[in-house]
Structure 1
Amino acid sequence: MAKKLIARVTHLEMTERSAVSVPTPIGIKLAIMRASDMPVHYYRYLYEQVGKPHHWAMRRNQSDAEIAATINAPTTEIHVLYADGSPAGFVELDLARMPEEAEILYFGLVPDFQGRGLGNFFLAEAIATAWSHGPQKVTIHTNSLDSPRALQLYQKMGFTPVGWSEEEVQSWD
């Protein structure tokens, strides 16, 4: 039986475009592609690869129909980072509260691609994509089960903590 974990959630926002510039990493062929009509099995694969080490929970127990309705909704955008032809990470934008807010709901890299300088680059691209929709602010959240570098990276990129909460999640063991 999966054990329960307590995650301290930090809610962050950016109310103006960040001036942070991140160069494209060299030595690796990169592509970021927006996924339209993404198959549920591919979304589940990305979600598990990126989220399992951090015990992501929300989509884990949703049915295929629920996931399909969400990821293919007009208010959802998913962009996949490919490195040398392999999926290296993804970002999911929730645009349901536009024009007030664009939320970076999920963001992360597959473990095989962490530590190669791709996170800063991909996050900068995700933030630029969120701002391209013209929101008043861009939001993101992280928690104590995410990468220990996530909060620091988000702040470095221009996000400011605006609140905290706790949630109970089931471990992904």
Structure 2
Amino acid sequence: MRAEPVVTAVTTWYLEQTSPEALRPAAGPDAAEGLSVVRAERTYPAFNRFLYTAVGGDWSWTDRLPWTHRQWDEYLGRDGTETWVAWVRGTPAGYVELSPSGPGEVEIAYFGLVAAFHGRGIGSRLLAEGLARAWDLADRWPALGPTRRVWVHTCSLDGPAALRTYRSRGMEVYDVRTADEEVRPAPGPWPGARGE
């Protein structure tokens, strides 16, 4: 049985970087410890949906669950949309998704880790790589022009380290909003994972 949504106050923080010099490097595991961050050069809906549910299932990421295969395909096929995946010894540990959102602007549309990889510094390394790739997006997509701003939003439903991680990589809060929203309980990484 699917749990009914609950109305709750959700705080959303909007953060940005307006210069690549604002990016702060991250400590944490590297290739010698089995970590690599690699662009998924050939994206496809099933893989991105897997990443979305594996990472977001614990944090009420439900907005894309009803998307059809075609919607995923169209979204992933947009110029400049990129998926960068953190791999630890051959296992996908998390991802950062870049999405152009206007002239010179790149949104970090999604970012996070699979729960088994929390607390190891992997998220900081992945985010630093994602931000660096947002700043040089025009190298791979020249028609987009140079990046002048990278932005993201996170909310009180996301992981407890999200806001701190964004700020520690040099992103600055430029807006905060709180509103009542209908929220479904976090579904877990797949329907029924929580025994519902």
What's the TM-score once normalised by structure 1's chain length?
0.90
Q: Contact 1:75/1:96 (CA < 8 Å) preserved in 2?
A: no
In structure 1, give the amino acid aligned to 2:11: R
Pick the aligned partner of 2:167 from 113, 131, 155: 155
CA distance in structure 2 between the partners assigned to 1:125 and 1:45 by the alignment: 21
SS at match of 1:138: strand
Could you say if the C-alpha distance between residues 73 and 45 of structure 1 is closer, same or farther in structure 2, counting changes exceeding 3 Å?
same
> More displaced, 3-12 or 114-123?
3-12
In structure 2, give the amino acid aligned to 1:78: T
CA distance in structure 1 between the partners assigned to 2:176 and 2:76 by the alignment: 27
SS at match of 2:123: helix
- Pair 1:102-2:106 in alignment: yes
Structure 2 gaps of 5+ residues are 138-145, 188-196
- Aligned ranges for residues 15-164 of structure 1 at < 5 Å? 15-17=18-20, 18-23=22-27, 25-26=29-30, 28-99=33-104, 101-133=105-137, 134-164=146-176
Q: Contact 1:88/1:113 (CA < 8 Å) preserved in 2?
A: yes
Could you say if the C-alpha distance between residues 60 and 139 of structure 1 is closer, same or farther in structure 2, counting changes exceeding 3 Å?
same
Aligned identity (percent) is 34
Match of 1:11 in 2: 14
In structure 1, give the amino acid aligned to 2:163: L
- The structure number with the bigger radius of gyration is 2
SS at match of 1:89: strand
Could you say if the C-alpha distance between residues 38 and 139 of structure 1 is closer, same or farther in structure 2, counting changes exceeding 3 Å?
same
CA distance in structure 1 between the partners assigned to 2:166 and 2:28 by the alignment: 18
In structure 1, give the amino acid aligned to 2:17: M
In structure 1, give the amino acid aligned to 2:6: K
What's the TM-score once normalised by structure 2's chain length?
0.80
CA distance in structure 2 between the partners assigned to 1:23 and 1:152 by the alignment: 15
CA distance in structure 1 between the partners assigned to 2:135 and 2:26 by the alignment: 16
Structure 1 gaps of 5+ residues are none
How big is each residue's C-alpha offset from its partner over 1:112-158, in whole Å with a ceiling of 9 and x where there is no partner? 11111111111111111111133111101110011111111211211
Match of 2:186 in 1: 172
Q: Contact 1:5/1:171 (CA < 8 Å) preserved in 2?
A: no
